[in-house]
A and B are shown apart, each in its own frame.
Chain A
Amino acid sequence: MWQNIWLIVSKPDNIPIVLMMILVAFYTTVALRLGIKNDRLRRQAASNRASSEFQQGTALQESNGAATVDIFYTPEEMKLPKRVHTFPFLVKVEFLAALVVIVFLMFWSIFLDAPLEEPANPNFTPNPSKAPWYFLGLQELLVYFDPWIAGVVLPTLIIIGLMAIPYLDSQPHKGNGYYTFAERRFAILAFLFGFIGLWVVMVVIGTFMRGPGWMWFWPWERWDPHRVVSETNVDLNQFLANITGIKALATPTASMIIGFLAITLYYALTLGGTYRYAVKKQLPDLQLGLVRFMIKYWFFWTMMAIPIKIILRLVFHIKYIWVTPWFNV
């Protein structure tokens, strides 16, 4: 068992992924902890100010925002000017970081050889054939989506969606330039869900859990190229036909209509529901205007559709939601 784990973890091209897992876990924890610490300080500062205003009858001159970087300062530093000479203060840190990285890379390169397999041979397809590790998340999604979605549409949406983030932000003044969690709960949770849950975790699954035939093998399992998994997946309309017993639902025409309705209904319900919720709670997102509001939550609910489709597939064995002669969703 440990042999198998070691075998897969120590493969030269898998080392960066192990490093990535450690770094992502470490820095996510750092960011969240700093944010929570900051939130606590700001709450304290606010309550102190409120009580002193109550006592003195005047507002304190101190900025509430100052507490947001105070978490980085020792008590002595608090009294010092907030701006310093770049040389040597920043240059020193940069120089040290550069040294550490160069030394680290040197050692890594001396002790571990970059992988080099047999010469390229178009007549021999390795099983499994894996994309470079940073694209394995997308390859993993091929289990659940057709290539045009997993390989083309989703990456495009990820890039456009990331670019759109600053323009779909209804509270640009909140958490601008400091760590916080309380002020940006939804933004941070959504981003971390996408980045860690749907990108990093999928990369890790694609690297460590997928063996021959892209079948699931735990890292401690030996890869068995002859393993057969019999799994019957059905399309949504067939699934409905099976449940209700209405045979007409199983026809291709029914599939086109049901699939179209299902997807329209999904966006209508989620977007409509979000909008109603926002109106009820008077969320600041309403200030974006209807168009940007809808674009924002269209991206959000499209992201959420990925885990939903995964669950539909794994739990209900549904292959496609929508089957047409031209494409399948």
Chain B
Amino acid sequence: MSNRIDEVIKKVQKEITESDIYRSIYRIPPGDTPRTRLLWILDTVYLHLHPSHVSRHGCKYFFTWGMGGISFLVFLILTFTGVLLMFYYHPDTANAYQDMKYLMHDVPFGPLLRNMHRWAAHLMVITVWLHMLRVFMTGSYKPPRQFNWVVGVCLLTLTMLLSFTGYLLPWDQLGMWAVTVGTNMARATPILGHEGPFGEQLGMTAYNDVRFALLGGSIVAGNALLRAYIWHCIALPLLVGILLMVHFWRVRKDGGISGPKLEG
């Protein structure tokens, strides 16, 4: 019986992989040979971020914990669900909260969409921390990877800022007061904040300091919501995207997944 099933599967597989459509999408000839294995990496746009060969230990889950890759995957999930959420969201104080209720009760798969975006955001913060922990514990920030560690720290900061700006968007008590607490810190910035050391002496007030610039006002209100929205949906993802390119490029240029120097 299982032989029969195997045969059928093989036949279907053959029909698919040798069809004109399949061959036109994938440039890789059928079969599993060293050559096709190389071609899968070199000739497909999504996989070509990889080198053609990797160290054997790099494929072991517990060497890398997969946390960098998982962070990137979660970033993609967030981009996907985020774009869909943007279709249902107005970044103004009159509509934002209504849009949340609409999403949670009327939009098909709305709760799934919003929940997934929220939980993926939290998950990304965690996986990025763990990625940093792993890179530190294997000493992978050491030469020649010093600069990529610096890029990684920027990405870690941006991840938390992305999550932070997104916190305000539902325009509920939780988000508004969390962001109020967070941005109140900016008041105390030395020199640039009106309650910070030397701020007052340098002419800082609640209407011209760094907090005012962040919020577009002296309180968390409509302008702050719009600014959080623009940072969250456009500015920060663009920055993250650029730094991700540098990060991945450097992973390749610095020799791929780290490992001890092997002699010979």
A129 to B157, CA, bound (A): 23
B153 to chain A, nearest CB (A): 5
Provide the residues of chain B in CB contact with A89, threshold 8 Å: 54, 56, 59
**Pair B173/A124 contact, Cβ less than 8 Å:** yes
Q: B172 at interface (Cβ–Cβ under 8 A)?
A: yes
Kindly state whether residue B149 has any CB partner on chain A within 8 Å.
Answer: yes
> Are the CB atoms of A105 and B196 closer together than 8 Å?
no
Q: Mark each residue of chain A from 78 to 98: 1 if its CB lies under 8 Å from any CB of chain B, else 0.
A: 001111111111111110011
Chain A residues with CB under 8 A of B142:
166, 169, 172-173, 175-177
Residues of B within 8 A of A108 (CB): 115, 119
Instruction: Output the nearest chain B residue to A93 by Cβ-Cβ distance.
Output: B59
B245 within 8 A of A: no
By DSSP majority rule, is chain B's interface helix, strand, loop, or mixed?
Answer: helix
Q: Known: A118-B172, A166-B149. Contact between A97 and B66, CB under 8 A? A: yes
Let me know if B53 and A177 touch, CB within 8 A.
no
Given the known interface contacts A31-B134, A132-B182, the answer about A153 and B149 at a Cβ–Cβ threshold of 8 Å is no
Which residue of B50, B77, B138, B190 is within 8 Å of A148 (Cβ)? B190
Q: Name the one of A65, A119, A163 contacting B262, with C-beta atoms under 8 angstroms.
A: A65
Chain B contact residue count (CB 8 A cutoff): 104
A131-B51 in contact given A73-B56, A97-B61, A151-B188 (Cβ < 8 Å): no
Shortest CB distance A180–B (Å): 7
Using CB atoms, name the residue of chain A closest to B122.
A16
Given contacts A23-B126, A85-B52, contact A115 B70 (CB under 8 A): no
Residues of A within 8 A of B63 (CB): 69, 72
Cβ contacts under 8 Å, B61 to chain A: 93, 97
Question: Closest CB-CB distance, A199 to chain B, in whole Å?
Answer: 8
Q: B114-155: contact bitstring with A at CB < 8 Å (1 yes, 0 no)?
A: 111111101101100110111011111111011001100100
For residue A195, which residues in chain B have a CB less than 8 angstroms away from its CB? 129, 133
Asked if B229 is at the interface (CB within 8 A of a chain A CB), the reply is no
- Decide if B239 is an interface residue (CB 8 Å cutoff): no
Are the CB atoms of B181 and A163 closer together than 8 Å? no
- Assess whether A139 is interfacial by the CB under 8 Å rule: yes
**Which candidate, B9-17, B18-26, B33-41, is the interface stretch facing chain A?**
B33-41
A30 at the interface (CB under 8 A from B): yes
A191 → B minimal CB distance (Å): 5
Contact across chains for B137 and A110 when beta carbons are under 8 A apart? no
Q: Does A117 make an interface contact (CB < 8 A)?
A: yes
Tell me if A68 is interfacial: C-beta within 8 Å of chain B: yes
In the complex, what's the smallest C-beta–C-beta distance from B64 to chain A, in angstroms?
9
B115 adjacent to A97 (CB under 8 Å) = no
Say yes or no: is A267 at the interface (Cβ < 8 Å to chain B): no
* A243 → chain B closest CB, angstroms: 29
Contact assessment for B219 and A122 in the assembled complex, using a CB-CB cutoff below 8 Å: yes
Main SS at interface, chain A: helix
B82 on the interface (CB 8 Å rule)? no
A118→B175 CA distance, assembly (Å): 10
Which A residue sits closest to B101, measured CB to CB? A116
Complex: chain A residue closest to B148, CB-CB: A166
> Using an 8 Å CB-CB cutoff, how does the interface string of B241-264 with A read, 1 for contact, 0 for none?
000000000000000001111111
Among B129, B137, B177, B221, point to the contact of A35 (Cβ < 8 A). B137
The residue from A81, A84, A152 contacting B59, defined by CB atoms under 8 A apart: A84
Complex Cα distance, B41 from A166, in Å, reads: 32
Which B residues lie within 8 Å of A110 (CB)?
A: 112, 115
Within 8 A of A (CB), among B36-93: 37-38, 40-41, 47, 50-63, 65-66, 69-70, 73-74, 77, 93
Which of chain A's residues has its CB closest to B141's CB? Answer: A166
CA of A139 to CA of B194, assembled, Å: 20
> Is B231 located at the chain interface by the 8 A CB criterion?
no
CA distance A38 to B220 in the complex (A): 52
Which residues of chain B come closer than 8 Å to A133, judged between CB atoms?
Answer: 122
Residues of B within 8 A of A (CB): 34, 37-38, 40-41, 47, 50-63, 65-66, 69-70, 73-74, 77, 93, 97, 100-101, 104, 111-112, 114-120, 122-123, 125-126, 129-130, 132-134, 136-143, 145-146, 149-150, 153, 156-157, 160, 163-164, 167, 170-178, 180-182, 184-190, 193, 195-198, 201, 219-221, 258-264
19 contacts between A and B (CB under 8 A): A65-B262, A66-B260, A84-B54, A87-B41, A88-B40, A101-B123, A106-B116, A120-B172, A130-B177, A132-B182, A148-B189, A150-B185, A152-B188, A163-B153, A166-B145, A166-B149, A176-B140, A177-B139, A191-B136
